[in-house]
Amino acid sequence: MLAPVFVGGMMISEVYHWMNDTVMVFNEDGQHLSYLEGKYNEVAKNILEEVTDSTRFFVGAWNVKITMKVAKECFENRSVYKFLKISLS
């Protein structure tokens, strides 16, 4: 198991990839880590360098109130994001 990685003193707890291709990141206290948030292509690499085994990943769509927990690999390769984007179009 990997040792916890702390970003600015805060461990990444949850990562949300929304259908508008933005990513939101929260620490273990539920606070936004805004310096890791933005468009997927701009922030994914930095996020993936800082996550731990306990980080949870989600994809979702605001407009239809859907959120689904996914594996880290699904965040990395965007497979569920692409599926939802096609399905909800």
Provide the residue ranges of all domains of the chain, joining segments of one domain with +: 6-87
Strand locations in 1-89 (E) = 6-7, 10-18, 22-27, 38-39, 56-61, 66-70
Statement: residue 87 has pLDDT above 80: no
Q: Which residue has the higher pLDDT, 75 or 79?
A: 75
CB atoms within 10 A of CB 6: 13
HSE-up (13 A, CA, CB side) for residue 86: 5
Q: Band the pLDDT of 10: cuts 50, 70, 90.
A: confident
Whole-Å CA distances, 37 to 1, 31, 72, 78, 83: 26, 12, 17, 16, 22
Predicted pLDDT of residue 82: 73
| pTM of model > 0.85 | no
